[in-house]
Structure 1
Amino acid sequence: MNTEMTRGYSFILLMLWFALGFSSCSMDEKVVESKPNILFIMTDDHALQAISAYGHPLSQLAPTPNIDRIASSGALFTSNFCGNSICGPSRATVLTGKHSHKNGFMRNTNIGFDGTQQTLPKILGKNGYQTAIIGKWHLVSEPTGFDHWEILHDQGEYNNPDFITKQDTTQKFGYVTDLITDMTKDLLDKRDPEKPFYLMMHHKAPHRNWVPAERHYHLYDDTEFPMPDNYFDDYEGRYAASQQEMNIYRDMFEGHDLKLSTEKGVDSLRYDPWPHVFMGRMTDEEKETFWKAYHKKNESYFELDPADSVAIAKWKFQRYMQDYLAVIKSVDESVGEILDYLDENGLSENTLVVYTSDQGFYLGEHGWFDKRFMYEESMLMPLMIRYPGYIGEGLQVSNLTQNIDFAPTFLDYVGLQIPDDMQGESFRPLLENSTPEDWRQTLYYHYYEFPGFHSVRKHYGVRDERHKLIYFYEEDKWELFDLEKDPTEMNNIYGLHGTEEITDKMTQELRALQDKYEVPEDHR
């Protein structure tokens, strides 16, 4: 039975129920009750390569079976992208359905998100939804439009983090991923069962500095993860890539990021610029457990020849992967707990469950960690959605989608009008086998934060199914990539003989997108 027929029968039954006097609720209350709940799970910096549903070799050695449950019982998006690959701006886009220049939050260093503007939770709240966010916020200003919020301070800490509410700031003892999971279940227990909910469960993990839960300290000690072929990229022909400061073996902090001690067996970290958010959050007992684990794990590093830079670079990659993927293990456990909760409480059938991250992340590609660039690994966002009865099981969506589309899609599914000033489009038709003929063929991207962490230059660009054009506008440097022939974006073909036609086409499309999205002249 199709969606329209289902809605028609539901309406007739509702009218009969009301007419016969079997309902103590008003019709409006019944309509609200029939709307789906939305559980929006967002992690921070979770690379698509680290989700086993996507099939990357890394994830096959560190599978995510619970996250995969959402994909297998719903839809997996393979071409979902962000418009500005950095934490705060991506979150602002999810809330507003608008690109960074329109919602005003373009950099993590902004003074704060403008909470007076229209947002998705505000619209849902005005239409009968309970709204809440638990976990990472990272938008500087206090949340608005939520009935309940309990957020991490800034980036948050892995051990014994502070949580901020409308009333106060309280330290909670435990591992951050576990705490957010328990808080989410507790809130679901206390919700008003007569109203639908929109709940954002936002994990800190797997953001830097990748501190696993104690139970996972040794999870991947004996696993050797495959290193990307371009780990030792020399960045030839890509000026901005040569200027970045996000290289694993040159720029990672050996104490903070890699957990190396100053000397073998010494309980003191090498360089750590933020000790208050790492070891400073641990109890004495937790520190003892940490050092016992990492002294053993660090032994192989101290056996290396200090002059062997290649061996050291490879060791650092393995340590990064072991910690990063161990942190994700806790996230996968969290997702499993929440999905089980929905099943056990009869909520699965009427809850639209979303899993995504605020952007992609580098797991050694080009020698990097972090994000920011318009290159594939950081522009690609993982996305999977399930909604039984509305989204078929095992569906794969390869059409170009973007985080500006999230808010319009959720409004579409709950039957509310999409505001004209939202710049995204509902991708509900893509999930119901009715892709519009005029669905987008290109995407716009714009990164603003320079100077800033990792020294990635400002740039904007356009991507279609095959090509990507990037302009680093303060340096007047262009890059063009053929993603079919060069999927790892190693060969900048801009200006080469034979690329004139595609360059002209992509340049025109870039200008058209800037006009469409009303990008100010001083941002072009």
Structure 2
Amino acid sequence: MLALCKKLLVLAVYVLVFFLFSCNEKKEEPVKKPNIIYIMADDHTTQGFGIYGSRLASLNPTPTLDKIANEGIIFENCFVNNAICVPSRAAILSGQRAQTSGVLDLEGILPIEKQYLPQEMKKLGYQTAIVGKWHLHEEPASFDFYQVLPVQGKYFNPDFRIRGDKPWPENVVKTKGHSSDMITDITLDWLQTKRDPSKPFFLMHHFKAPHDDFEYATRYEEYLADTFIPEPESLYDNKNNGSIATRGKNDSLTRIIGSSVSHRNLIRNQAHNIYWNDTTLHRKYGNARDIKSEQHVKFELTPDEKTYTSKVYQDYLKKYLRCVKGVDDNVKRLLDYLEKENLLEETIIVYTGDQGFMLGEHDYIDKRWMYDEAMRMPFFVRYPKSITGGTRTDAIINNTDFAPTMIELAGGKTPDYMQGKSFKTILETGKEPADWQKSTYYRYWMHLAHRHQNPAHFGVRTKDYKLIFFYGKYWVDTDNPDAEYNKASWGNDYANHTPAAWEFYDLKKDPKEMNNAYNDPANKEIIAELKTELLKLRKDLNETDANYPHIQKVIDEHWND
């Protein structure tokens, strides 16, 4: 009996100890995932910020955005894979390069099955939404919620496409106001009334501004009205930028290549945009014959022409920066709401543009070029819980890296089908891993398209150097004249072939890319190394011209020029 009592006593002690440990054991709370807001403005270039130290920084064009950036990490070397709207957005949504996603140009389509980023976020438990510019043609059906502009959309009183009873794109709602305000109104309404508070959210908030024609809200009419906007030196003297591919022999192509601020370009210059109905302020050409008769007349920057160019530039930049002001003010509205609702510290804020933009540098407007003003993207991230404020990095990233990074920030892993690489560790440590990518590849597939007149080209950029190959208009396969190709983006009637040529820029010595030093014997070794890297990137990224043998023929003929 005594032995039985002892056993019962021991058992009771075990039960008591187990009970005490069970009571004291803390139940593990599930890790709360951060919300993610990805904000992207159209054509908002690094020159249009304070944080990037451009000639415009003293104007303080982006106080709200600068504050966000300085509270997080700023990327100095973020680059687009193709500086044009549709391919850039496809790369961001898919994490893939052009030939893999199938989106090479403005007519490219990203089908629902390749809208990978929202699909992956939903797998991770996120509620997904996109508001504003979409421009990828097919319905953004992979998002839980969308309200997007038709194609480019309107600046004032924009219509939006929504999910509804009718097939895409027939469900349309109308709004009254400026697009930057309307897009923010829709986002705030979704956050207030449509999101599920029990889930983390992934929201893509895409402004139309500051895309041309730079129609700003009327409340900004006096903003910078009496301010002289600093002008780039290369607006008036392009020095040794470019090559026979972009300038022609003895500058014979300068009247038709690269849309301009000045009257230099006969096909499209900024006067056509902002003075289109004032024949006293710009020269008007009725047809291609008029242009052809004038294109061999050398352009001269006379005193009158310089005065005219400065006037156009001042108007051009004020319109652009007024659109930027509208973006900055609306981002503040969004941040104020998040702070009021105690969501700001729980939310990763990402800000970027869909590419850069030429603001008169080299007397160019628009984007498309591999020159840094067009190729370089603003990119910064705020999330105090894991990102140290006041951090800057010169690590090279590109827009195919965005999707993998946001997926990993949400707790997932980069899918094997994505070509981009996650830079989550750079965000969280501010340090570039030893094995991180040392270069990025660029490819502008279109040629002399949409009156902007940029020759097709590709190239490689490292932190210190840039190598570009312009391969000209060889889209019409002379060995196969019946071959199909996208004539809307791959050529027009103003020129036939443009010359093939190389350009090399030493960015340490020449950060503004004013001296094409390709033919300098001192650069022979580094150019050879860059060509080796270029070949490797084209192969690794599925960006060769195996499917375009007539282009590959041009590459082979001129590789060792």
**TM-score, normalization: structure 1?**
0.84
Deviation string for 1:132-168 (max 9, x for gaps)? 1100001112113101111111111111111111231
Answer whether contact 1:254 1:272 (CA < 8 A) is retained: no
**Distance in 2 separating the partners of 1:102 and 1:335:** 34
Is 2:322 the counterpart of 1:309?
Answer: no
**Distance in 2 separating the partners of 1:203 and 1:336:** 14
What's the counterpart of residue 55 of structure 1? Answer: 53
What's the counterpart of residue 299 of structure 1? Answer: none
**Distance in 2 separating the partners of 1:55 and 1:471:** 29
Write out aligned runs for 1:35-184 (5 A). 35-110=33-108, 112-117=109-114, 119-167=116-164, 168-184=171-187
Is 2:218 the counterpart of 1:218?
Answer: no
**Distance in 2 separating the partners of 1:174 and 1:120:** 31
What's the counterpart of residue 457 of structure 1? Answer: 455
Q: Which amino acid aligns with 1:323?
A: K
Within the candidate set 231, 241, 246, 2:246 is matched to 241
Deviation string for 1:405-441 (max 9, x for gaps)? 1111111111111111211111111122253211111
**Distance in 2 separating the partners of 1:241 and 1:208:** 23
**Distance in 2 separating the partners of 1:159 and 1:118:** 29
Q: CA deviation at 1:171?
A: 2.2
Q: Which amino acid aligns with 2:186?
A: M
What's the counterpart of residue 371 of structure 1? Answer: 367
Answer whether contact 1:353 1:386 (CA < 8 A) is retained: yes
Within the candidate set 422, 426, 433, 2:422 is matched to 426
Is 2:236 the counterpart of 1:232?
Answer: yes
Q: CA deviation at 1:57?
A: 2.6
**Distance in 1 separating the partners of 2:231 and 2:277:** 21
Q: CA deviation at 1:482?
A: 0.7
What's the counterpart of residue 201 of structure 1? Answer: 205
What's the counterpart of residue 501 of structure 2? Answer: 477
Deviation string for 1:215-244 (max 9, x for gaps)? 001211101011101102456552343342
What's the counterpart of residue 315 of structure 2? Answer: 319
**Distance in 1 separating the partners of 2:239 and 2:226:** 32
Q: CA deviation at 1:307?
A: 8.4
Q: 1:58 to 1:272 in 2, by over 3 A?
A: farther
Q: Which amino acid aligns with 1:313?
A: T
Q: CA deviation at 1:129?
A: 0.9
Q: 1:467 to 1:185 in 2, by over 3 A?
A: same
Q: Which amino acid aligns with 2:400?
A: I
**Distance in 2 separating the partners of 1:480 and 1:271:** 36
Deviation string for 1:336-386 (max 9, x for gaps)? 111111111111111110010000011110011111111110110000101
Q: Which amino acid aligns with 1:170?
A: V
Deviation string for 1:220-272 (max 9, x for gaps)? 110101110110245655234334231012333536435765679xxxx9989
Q: Which amino acid aligns with 2:117?
A: L
Answer whether contact 2:148 2:160 (CA < 8 A) is retained: yes
**Distance in 2 separating the partners of 1:56 and 1:206:** 18
Answer whether contact 1:461 1:469 (CA < 8 A) is retained: yes
What's the counterpart of residue 395 of structure 1? Answer: 391
Q: Which amino acid aligns with 2:174?
A: Q
Q: CA deviation at 1:67?
A: 0.7
**Distance in 1 separating the partners of 2:226 and 2:53:** 21
What's the counterpart of residue 412 of structure 2? Answer: 416
Within the candidate set 443, 448, 455, 1:446 is matched to 443
Answer whether contact 2:124 2:411 (CA < 8 A) is retained: no
Q: What percentage of aligned pairs have identical amino acids?
A: 40
What's the counterpart of residue 357 of structure 1? Answer: 353
What's the counterpart of residue 516 of structure 1? Answer: 540
**Distance in 2 separating the partners of 1:495 and 1:307:** 33
Pairwise CA RMSD: 2.3
Q: Which amino acid aligns with 1:482?
A: D
Q: CA deviation at 1:113?
A: 1.7
Deviation string for 1:38-80 (max 9, x for gaps)? 1000000001011112222313214211111211111111111
Deviation string for 1:274-331 (max 9, x for gaps)? xxxxxxxxxxxxxxxxxxxxxxxxxxxxxxxx98111001100000011100111110
3-state DSSP of counterpart to 2:352: strand
3-state DSSP of counterpart to 2:262: helix
- Unaligned residue ranges in structure 1 (runs of 5+): 1-14, 19-26, 274-305
3-state DSSP of counterpart to 1:105: coil
In terms of Rg, which structure is larger?
2
Answer whether contact 1:249 1:312 (CA < 8 A) is retained: yes
**TM-score, normalization: structure 2?**
0.78
Aligned residues: 462
**Distance in 1 separating the partners of 2:527 and 2:201:** 47
Is 2:191 the counterpart of 1:188?
Answer: yes
What's the counterpart of residue 301 of structure 1? Answer: none
